[in-house]
Structure 1
Amino acid sequence: MQEPPQFETLHATVDGRIGRLTLNQPDKLNPLGTRPLAEIADAARWFDSTEASIVIVTGAGRAFSSGFDLREFADPAASPDLDDRAQADLGRLMAEAMEQMRALTIAAIKGPCIGGGLVLAGVCDLRIAADDTVFAIPEVDLGIPLAWGGIPRLVREIPPAIVRELVLTCRPFDAEEARSLGFVNRVVPRAELDEAVDELAESLSRKAPSVVRATKRQVNTALENVAPTTGAWADADQLGAAMRDPEARAAAREYLRGRTRA
């Protein structure tokens, strides 16, 4: 087994058959900027070199993830090493790397789970949410489309009419609503989240890894037939266009000002 790689924005560890991927920018509510997206994809590939058959995905501190790093959206110079399209495509590459992992993934969701954070949770195979979780998809208010293959992945889990509503209105929804819609498997009190996820991971880790992997592949193949993500590469063009659109930039700045005032 390879040694765990050193990341700037997350921790990746393995103990026996159970791995953990923890977003680790708690003071910023674990945003998904250029660096975290690339590191999540790298971590997903690293887990494939280990004995992990289950990987728990969570965020340090009080949040799962505040989603796409709005500082990068409002300021293109925040990612000088990437052109617009390459930056916009990192989310798709992250989602595909997570989805293609051999290990079964369990999202342990708490606090804010926003935009791209919801996409990250959505590519996990199972989801347990704390009762303090607040979901939201604010991209349309920001003047950008929901990218990273987020729409087809949501349609796989949630009725299409509800997906339209949630994406277009950008309204927040809580863990119980997410459970009733079928997006999360279970809701538990915040104080019991870690124990509930650990128990599930331990139970699944005792099953034959080859059968767990085969089941994951079978479900993912069926889901791809229901709502394919093969066209998600084009999301980067749409997102990149929005990132060059003055009206979209103005919307992002206004959204950020509103959050600062709040």
Structure 2
Amino acid sequence: MASAGATFVTLVVELSDGIGRLTLNQPDRLNPLGSDTLTEIAEAARWFDDEGARVVVVTSAGDRAFSAGFDLREISGPSDEPPDVDLGYRMVDAIERMEAITIAAIHGHCVGGGILLAVGCDLRIAADNTRFSIPEVDLGIPLAWGGIPRLVREVGPAVTRELVMTCRPFDAVEAQGLGMVNRVVPRDRLRAETDELASSLAAKPVSLLRTTKRQVHDAAEDLVSTQSGWTASAHLAVALADPGARAAAARYLAGRGGR
């Protein structure tokens, strides 16, 4: 039995036979995480729980990017009103706390907040053409959204320091070696491999999957709590009000051809 997807502006959300798909759907803009998209992802997470989804695949439209991360147009434009700095934290938290088992299907560029969206998922499959980067320091802003504790959980403190401080890009094979992704597959196999994993999980006892998910989440919180992520929001708010950060964002966009 198929269930009609909820209606969103920046996402496509579908659910069929207990398996959902949340697709970032602004491929012409490299699927940025602007305020509207962050709000809609959190709303979609709640919708999937309300509809009883067992497994949800988080993916994106287009060939070039899973997500270009936080939409820099919101800080490089003429508006004097900074975006709501807590939206990103609430989005990742909503994804992480979903009852459904979540699988990130990643391809192309996965930048900054896009990495945090993926890390918020329970499992991650990356195409072999995936290119990761965390450019926030070069933009003059801190990595917020609970990003530091979440990365420390996945890759450890030393690697987190390196990736965040240097802003260097890294590929899918390195990400798998670091423990950031579970599996690397050819780009043309990403959909098939992800669907196969989703179907396999959906066939298992849902109560046991959800119990395991909660236990792992609780254990991870005991190791490295994400509650300090709220303090990073305050630092982000200060940085976003800084004309230097706005100028850095404008330069970064210009270097990407405005995308």
TM-score, scaled to structure 2: 0.95
Where does residue 72 of structure 1 map in the other structure? Answer: 74
Q: 2:237 is matched with which residue: 237, 240, 243? A: 240
Following TM superposition, by how much is the alpha carbon of 1:75 offset from its aligned partner in structure 2, in angstroms?
1.9
Question: How far, CA to CA, are the matches of 1:261 and 1:200 in structure 2?
Answer: 37
Contact 2:3 2:15 in 1 (8 A): no
Cα offsets for 1:94-140 (capped at 9, x unmatched): 01111111000000000010000000000000000000000000000
Following TM superposition, by how much is the alpha carbon of 1:4 offset from its aligned partner in structure 2, in angstroms?
3.0
Following TM superposition, by how much is the alpha carbon of 1:259 offset from its aligned partner in structure 2, in angstroms?
2.4
Which one-letter code corresponds to 2:44 in the other structure?
A
Question: How far, CA to CA, are the matches of 2:60 and 2:219 in structure 1?
Answer: 29
1:1-262 matched pairs, under 5 angstroms: 4-62=5-63, 63-75=65-77, 77=79, 84=82, 87-260=84-257
Listed as ranges, the gaps of 5+ residues in structure 1 are: none
Cα offsets for 1:123-172 (capped at 9, x unmatched): 00000000000000000000000000011001101021111111011110
Listed as ranges, the gaps of 5+ residues in structure 2 are: none
Question: How far, CA to CA, are the matches of 1:75 and 1:235 in structure 2?
Answer: 23
Which one-letter code corresponds to 2:171 in the other structure?
D
Following TM superposition, by how much is the alpha carbon of 1:261 offset from its aligned partner in structure 2, in angstroms?
8.9
Q: Point out the structure with the larger helix share.
A: 1
Question: How far, CA to CA, are the matches of 1:21 and 1:159 in structure 2?
Answer: 29
Following TM superposition, by how much is the alpha carbon of 1:3 offset from its aligned partner in structure 2, in angstroms?
5.1
What percent of counterpart residues are identical? Answer: 59
Which one-letter code corresponds to 2:51 in the other structure?
T
Cα offsets for 1:24-57 (capped at 9, x unmatched): 0011110000100000000000000113110000
1:249–1:261 distance in 2 versus 1, CA, 3 Å: closer
RMSD: 1.7
Contact 1:26 1:60 in 2 (8 A): yes
TM-score, scaled to structure 1: 0.94
Question: How far, CA to CA, are the matches of 2:243 and 2:18 in structure 1?
Answer: 48
Following TM superposition, by how much is the alpha carbon of 1:254 offset from its aligned partner in structure 2, in angstroms?
2.0
1:2–1:203 distance in 2 versus 1, CA, 3 Å: closer
Cα offsets for 1:218-255 (capped at 9, x unmatched): 00001101110112122221111101112212222222
Which one-letter code corresponds to 2:188 in the other structure?
A
Question: How far, CA to CA, are the matches of 2:257 and 2:21 in structure 1?
Answer: 33
| Equivalent residues, number | 257
Secondary structure, counterpart of 1:68 in structure 2: coil
